DNA sequence: CATTCTGTAACTAAAATTATTACAGTACAA
DNA sequence: TTGTACTGTAATAATTTTAGTTACAGAATG
């Protein structure tokens, strides 16, 4: 994960948790994160698909948490956002004619899987509510 | 880490381990990894700075492991290669006028530190020798 | 002293990420 | 019933990051 989607999603969810059910507009959240509102809406779309938030269209619309922050742990957010391999593998096409190259991706994937498990385990120890409580 | 430097470094070190002291040229290694030889030399430069390998210049030159593969664990390699934060934070400049935005990076960094610790712990359980032994 | 390497710098190309523009659709409220 | 303020999403542009290439000085060999 090279992009900042995890940070953006966590920021959004933290804002929504602290809004205590009040609807927040994408523009407001974009102002807090300091990014473009369209990116917030895209990220909200993903969070909505994963059941974390709901949105209301139209005037005075906005988004809100659709489940308790205690029921969302940080690993859930990570999984909802993740697309690449943790340690990066954007281009990785070793030479199949080389005995090492041929087997590299298999062993690399095994390694990536176990490291990701460790990461997920660590992240799952904290809920969104816990994270949000760190803020004043 | 969004790039594939970890995979490249691990591939290089695996090749060198299996070469059992024989010098390998950057061009040979580039062939196995299927990338440009200059990238291999750049990565070797970093690995050299971290004391994992040494290189011999000139004709019949090349690189070799400068310490036992049993003394290099995968977390060492990760640390030698790492530059960004694990979960991505390329652009992250939240609004300091927002009470949440203002504190976000502090809490995000705490989180990143603990997840990275978990990752490093997992990686450190395997040495380069272990990894290399998985290959036929 | 020609050859084959390394070590780097400089530059180019490609890919990924982020930002912007545009606009249809929805809901509210005067 | 119509203007306003939102969402949702597509299309595109700009920016940043990553990877590849070219070029060449310097080192070791035979």
Comparing A7-21, A93-107, A110-124, B52-66, which segment has the lowest mean pLDDT?
A: A93-107
CB half-sphere exposure, A31, CA atoms < 13 A: 8
In whole angstroms, D18 C1' to B21 CA is 31
Residue nearest to nucleotide C28 (CA to C1'): A59
CA of A136 to C1' of C15 (A): 40
Q: Is the CB of B63 under 7 A from strand C?
A: yes
Question: CA of B87 to nearest chain A CA: how many angstroms apart?
Answer: 6
- The predicted-structure confidence for B51-66, as pLDDT tens digits, reads as follows 999 999 999 999 999 9
Q: What is the mean pLDDT of chain A?
A: 91
CB of B14 within 8 A of CB of B53?
no
Residues 6+ apart with CB under 8 A from A127: A69, A70, A71, A72, A73, A74
pLDDT tens, position by position, B28-41: 999 999 999 999 99
Is the CATH code 3.40.50.2000 the one for domain B5-133?
Answer: no
Point out the residue among B10, B91, B119 whose CB comes nearest to the CB of A4: B91
- Select the more confidently predicted residue: A1 or A5: A5
To probe the interface with B, which of A12, A104, A121 has the most B CB atoms within 10 Å?
A: A104
Which of B3, B98, B110 is closest, CB to CB, to A90? B3
- Per-residue pLDDT of B98-135, as tens digits, reads 889 899 989 998 999 999 999 999 999 999 999 999 99
**Is the C-beta atom of B90 closer than 7 angstroms to strand C?**
yes
Nucleotide with minimal C1' distance from the CA of B3 is D18
Model confidence pLDDT, tens digit, residues B45-101: 999 999 999 999 999 999 999 999 999 999 999 999 987 555 545 456 777 778 898
Give the integer Cα–Cα distance in Å for A118 and A34: 31
Please give the full DSSP string across B99-134, using - where no structure is assigned.
Answer: HHHHHHHHHHHHHHHHHHHHHHHHHTTSBHHHHHHT
Nucleotides of C under 7 A from a protein CB: 2-10, 15-22, 25-29
Query: Is residue A20 within 8 Å of B106, Cβ to Cβ?
Result: no
Which range, of A8-17, A35-44, A83-92, A123-132, averages the lowest pLDDT? A83-92
Q: Could you identify the residue written with the tokens 């490093």?
A: B120
């Amino acid at each position: 994960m090279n992009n900042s989607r995890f940070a953006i999603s966590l920021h959004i969810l933290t804002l929504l948790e602290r809004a205590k059910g009040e609807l927040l507009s994408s523009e407001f959240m974009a102002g807090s994160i300091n990014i473009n509102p369209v990116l917030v809406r895209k990220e909200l779309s993903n969070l909505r698909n994963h059941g974390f938030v709901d949105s209301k269209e139209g005037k005075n619309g906005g988004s809100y948490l659709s489940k308790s922050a205690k029921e969302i742990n940080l690993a859930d957010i990570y999984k909802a956002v993740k697309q690449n391999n943790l340690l990066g593998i954007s281009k990785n096409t070793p030479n199949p004619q080389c005995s090492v190259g041929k087997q590299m991706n298999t062993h690399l994937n095994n390694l990536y899987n176990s490291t990701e498990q460790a990461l997920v385990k660590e992240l799952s120890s904290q809920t969104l509510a816990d994270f949000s409580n760190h803020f004043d």
